Amino acid sequence: MTKITIRENQTYRLLIEGYAADGAGVARLDGVVVFAKGGVRGEECDVLIEKVGRSAVWGRVTRAVVPSPARIVPQCLHYTKCGGCQLRHMNYAEELEAKRIRVEDSLRRIGGADMRVDVIHGAQDTRRYRNKVQFPVQAGQDGPLAGFYRQRTHSVIDVEDCLLQPESAGRLRSAALKWMEQYNVPAYDERTGSGLVRHFYVRVNRAGDSLFCLLVNGRQVPHEAELAAALRAAEPGLAGVVLGINEKRNNVILGDRYRTLWGRDYLEDVLCGLSFRLSVPSFYQVNAPQAEVLYRRALDLAGLTGSETVLDLYCGIGTISLVMARRALRVIGAEVVPQAVEDASGNAARNGIANAEFLCADAGEAARSLAESGVKIDVVCVDPPRKGLAGGVIDIIAAMAPDRVVYVSCDPGTLARDVKLFAAQGYALRKAEAVDLFPRTAHVETVCLLTRTK
């Protein structure tokens, strides 16, 4: 049978069979995998081919010929242009199933774990759940732009409102843009390294308070008092205005130094009944209600009875550590960012928790130091960044021989890779549950329990 020649800018009618990690539909054309943006599982679609690679093809759905019952009309005007959301063309039930399947498939295909992921914890609210927003700023033809990057580019789309962000973020964004226009404050140009304003940053808490940070390529900005006044007038719940300094030629958002222009440089929020102080660089889950679900499941899987010593690696400002401390004998948190360790210690004191302590070290160094000092660890909890556990950390954890490892992951692929490495060290995957912290996007969190088998 003669194979067809797949050509770019040609349209083919395909059946969407499943989903890729980025939320695109997966189809096959003459045996070749096609990733079709905008496809919904089970539907027959016309797909315009945009790129032909050696082993796969990429395209986008131009028409659903036989649409799925799960297909809906996206409510966002910026969808398909902005890179923030990937799943607004399907209903939430289908989105949750797509994410559950992705976690299960990763664990089986990459991790070698023959396990069904029975549970995905969906969000009660899929709108305006983000408690942190970062707007990149660029110069436009008619003035500065602030919004989000166009898909797979560093070109900013001017977005006045986003359905994932709190309404206060939009008000503060507009006020900051008007200040830039009024005083001719230039936007940063990452190509030349010139200009001043790089990002607007907004953090909110559940009480409705907001913190604004202006991230700049410099140590000061003109008319600082006028900026603070404009922001205060735009948002009654504003608690503080901070200047973040980042003079490096890079794509990093946050600065390495901060200065308060008005008010205070932190917010306080309540999570799992505990109070946390959040500065601009503090890591904090962007969906607080779903973070509570995630942390409570991690606590339950840890199986604490009050007699265990827990090691919490990548502990950030101590959220999981302090949740665990209420059921453990002792908790040791480790984090490489000094400010986060300081915040974690302060959060422990603020909540009257005396059985939690924090080390400033990367995960490998902390685990190795504790192992060498003879500290017996019963349970290890890890919540690494998207790249998963750093090299050698799994070996060090296994050498400590904890009874249980609770793994909180934001990437099913690197989680599955690490599950396979843990299996080689005698730790079997016993339970895995997905938690949707990022509705309408392709991201999904997973919490797993691994136990020592030898």
Residue 306: Cβ-neighbour burial (10 angstroms; 0-12, 13-18, 19+): exposed
Q: C-alpha 202: how far from its chain's center? A: 16
Q: Which two tokens stand for residue 91?
A: 């209903």
CA distance 97 to 103: 10
Q: What region, left, alpha or beta, does residue 344 occupy, with left being phi > 0 and alpha being psi -120 to 50 degrees?
A: alpha
For residues 174, 134, 72 and 90, what is the CA-based torsion angle, rounded to 10 degrees? 180
Taking residue 127's Cβ as centre, other Cβ atoms within 10 Å add up to 13
Q: Are 311 and 379 in contact (CB under 8 A)?
A: yes
The structure tokens 């990367």 sit at 362
**Residue positions counted in the chain:** 454
Catalytic hit among 85, 213, 381, 410: 410
Q: Which two tokens stand for residue 303?
A: 């199986």
CA distance 29 to 41: 16
> Where do the DSSP E strands lie in 104-254?
120-121, 132-140, 143-149, 156-158, 197-204, 210-216, 238-245
> Where do the DSSP E strands lie in 272-349?
274-279, 309-313, 330-335
CA nearest to 435, candidates 426, 423, 444: 444
Q: Are 394 and 427 in contact (CB under 8 A)?
A: no
Q: Rg for the chain (alpha carbons), in Å?
A: 24
CA distance 110 to 419: 9
CA distance 216 to 193: 11
Q: Are 71 and 56 in contact (CB under 8 A)?
A: no
Phi and psi at residue 395, to the nearest 5° = -60, -40
Specify whether 410 is catalytic: yes
Q: Which residues have a catalytic role annotated? A: 410
